[in-house]
Amino acid sequence: LNMKLSWLVILAGTLFLNPVTADCYITSQTVTCEKSGKNLSNIPTNLFQNVTKLSLKNNKITLKDSDKKILQSFIKLTELYLNENMIAVLYNNSFYNLTKLVILDMSNNHINTVHKAAFAGLNQLSMLNLSYNMITQLDSDIFTSLKSLTVLNLQYNFLKSFHIKSSFKLIKIVLAGNPWNCSCDLLDLQIWLTTSSVTMENENSTTCTSPNNKENFSIKTAAIQSADCKIGQASLENTVTSTSAIKLKSSALLTTLTPDNITGNNGTNAELPLLGKSWTFLAGVLGFVLSTTLLILAAIKCPTWCRYLISYSHRRLEENDSEMFEQEFSADMSSFPTVSGTNDEDPIVIFEKIHAFVPGEDGFIEDKYIDSYVTEES
């Protein structure tokens, strides 16, 4: 009986020192909670606050604001497994207050965007796994706050380039399975891989996919001419500088031509700034074009103007001349040279139509017709 009682006491003490629940168990140093494959859409709240290792893989967690608040209460957490969930965006301060976290696994999610301060506060983080996601763009500034980071896994994303600074310290990096573009955008990563002490895992399978002449070459050894990249960058900077200078000159010119500068602050006429040679040349060209146009117009219109001036020099018809013109016009309109019913003794006057109206003449009757009529009358 005494033996049975002693065993019961030992068993009770063991259970008291190491309480066991359905999902969590406690040891002398760790509190581990296993919530994998539970079809959870939110991080559960009925967990021990002193949990040190939490596995939430293979669920439907999206890491909403409510999830982030729950995570902030696990201040003793050292390992967090959120792989195989439905996380798409890592917002700023997603893991804030987890200052003791060492391992963070977020592989096999749908992550396509990582904000710059997503990992802020993870001062002790050593291993970060972002593999098998949909990340297309990533900058090393995202990891600057991770002072203790030694292993970074980015394999099988959609990264074509990865801008990284020489001060970035790692022991191991995994970059395989990305569509790397071995051009100038990848030059800083290549330099960092060759000059730092970092180890690139699966180096032989970490290859370029573009351009075609570098396909299947390792991103660490592919020929990227730094001189060409510097020349291209210098030309781009010069273009930007020249464009900025032009904009500054234009704004300065507009400033000098404002009403305040023209009239002066006191209302008096201020002296305008001297114009450059380009304005003088432009004014000369405009003057030449206008003068040439006027000369061509004068040459075309001069004959017409002269004809109008000459037409006004004719003598105006007198009153007796108008009667004579009517007789002459009636003679031209008769179809026969003689008129029946007249005496043979009367003189017969026959006018021949020797002057036809020509479009473009001034319409005046020349003096020679009048002279010939007067002569026959006499």
Is the pLDDT assigned to residue 320 strictly greater than 80?
A: no
For residue 346, give both structure tokens. Answer: 């009367």
State which amino acid sits at residue 373: Y
Question: Is 51:76 a contact under the CB 8 Å cutoff?
Answer: yes
Give the contacts of 23 (CB within 8 A, at least 6 positions apart).
33, 34, 35
Which of 135, 165, 131, 177 minimizes the C-alpha distance to 151?
Answer: 131
Angstrom distance (rounded) from CA 41 to CA 63: 9
Q: How many CA atoms lie within 13 A of 335 on its CB side?
A: 0
What does the pLDDT average to over 9-30?
57
Angstrom distance (rounded) from CA 185 to CA 376: 110
pLDDT at 236: 40
Per-residue pLDDT tens for 299-316?
Answer: 777 777 777 766 655 555
Which of the residue ranges 131-135, 152-156, 162-166 would you say has the lowest mean pLDDT?
Answer: 162-166
Domain edges within the chain: 19-158, 161-170+177-226
Q: At what angle do helices 367-377 and 319-333 cross, to 10 degrees?
A: 90
Per-residue pLDDT tens for 191-230?
Answer: 999 999 999 999 999 999 999 888 899 999 998 877 668 6
Is the pLDDT assigned to residue 361 strictly greater than 60?
A: no
- Band (pLDDT 50/70/90 cuts) for residue 4 is very low
CATH number of 19-158: 3.80.10.10
Per-residue pLDDT tens for 64-113?
Answer: 999 999 999 999 999 999 999 999 999 999 998 999 999 999 999 999 99
Angstrom distance (rounded) from CA 216 to CA 224: 14
Q: Which residues pair with 103 in a beta bridge?
A: 79, 127
Per-residue pLDDT tens for 43-66?
Answer: 998 888 899 999 999 999 999 999
Average pLDDT over all residues of the chain:
76
What does the pLDDT average to over 262-275?
46
Q: Which residues pair with 79 in a beta bridge?
A: 53, 103
State which amino acid sits at residue 314: H
Is the pLDDT assigned to residue 332 strictly greater than 80?
A: no
